[in-house]
């Protein structure tokens, strides 16, 4: 069976890394988006979890309000509190992608790219 969910939205707060187990990086976060139909706008939220390298990537490159695309597996987490059973859907993130407009990378073409001045005569083409 296939369980793949792809969502594009914005972070509701700055990502924070927590360490669990034997120092494994973990980042719980919420992504938000809206859906309009005529005059009505529904605001939707999805809780997500990123682990290890993905958690660090999220922390290093994203902040509150930044747009992103996340892909992952939708799971139902269950727990019991005060004698009541609770559950919540969570996206276990397998991929994170940049989306929307962002600040353009600043680079110096002279510094970042080497100029090609001569071709090697030994090339086969």
For residue 27, the domain's CATH number is 2.40.50.140
The answer as to whether 113 is a domain residue is no
Cα separation, 62 vs 117, in Å, equals: 39
Cα separation, 93 vs 75, in Å, equals: 11
Q: Kindly indicate the confidence band of residue 51, based on its pLDDT and cuts at 50, 70 and 90.
A: very high
Count of domains observed in the chain: 1
Q: Which helix (H) or strand (E) holds 103?
A: none
Asked if residues 33 and 10 have their Cβ atoms less than 8 Å apart, the reply is yes
Question: pTM of the predicted model, to two decimals?
Answer: 0.74
Rounded to the nearest integer, the mean pLDDT of the chain is 84
Residue 100 has a pLDDT of 79
The answer as to whether 75 is a domain residue is yes
The answer as to whether 28 is a domain residue is yes
Q: Kindly indicate the confidence band of residue 103, based on its pLDDT and cuts at 50, 70 and 90.
A: low
For residue 92, what are the β-bridge partners? 49, 73
pLDDT (tens digit per residue) in 24-41: 999 999 999 988 888 898
The answer as to whether 117 is a domain residue is no
Domain of 9, in residue numbers? 5-103
The answer as to whether 22 is a domain residue is yes
The answer as to whether 114 is a domain residue is no
3-state helix, strand, coil in the chain (%, to 5): 10, 55, 35
pLDDT (tens digit per residue) in 67-83: 999 999 999 999 999 99
The answer as to whether 35 is a domain residue is yes
pLDDT (tens digit per residue) in 106-125: 434 444 444 444 444 444 43
């Amino acid at each position: 069976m296939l369980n793949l969910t792809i969502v594009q939205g914005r972070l509701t707060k700055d990502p924070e890394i927590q360490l669990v187990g034997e120092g494994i990086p973990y980042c719980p976060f919420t992504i938000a988006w809206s859906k309009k139909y005529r005059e009505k706008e529904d605001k939707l939220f999805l809780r997500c979890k990123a682990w290890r390298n993905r958690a660090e990537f999220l922390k290093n490159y994203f902040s509150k309000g930044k747009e992103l695309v996340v892909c992952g597996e939708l799971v139902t987490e269950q727990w019991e509190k005060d004698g009541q059973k609770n559950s919540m859907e969570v996206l276990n993130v397998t991929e994170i992608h940049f989306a929307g407009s962002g600040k353009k990378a600043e680079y110096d073409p002279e510094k970042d790219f080497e100029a090609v001045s001569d071709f090697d005569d030994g090339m086969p083409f």
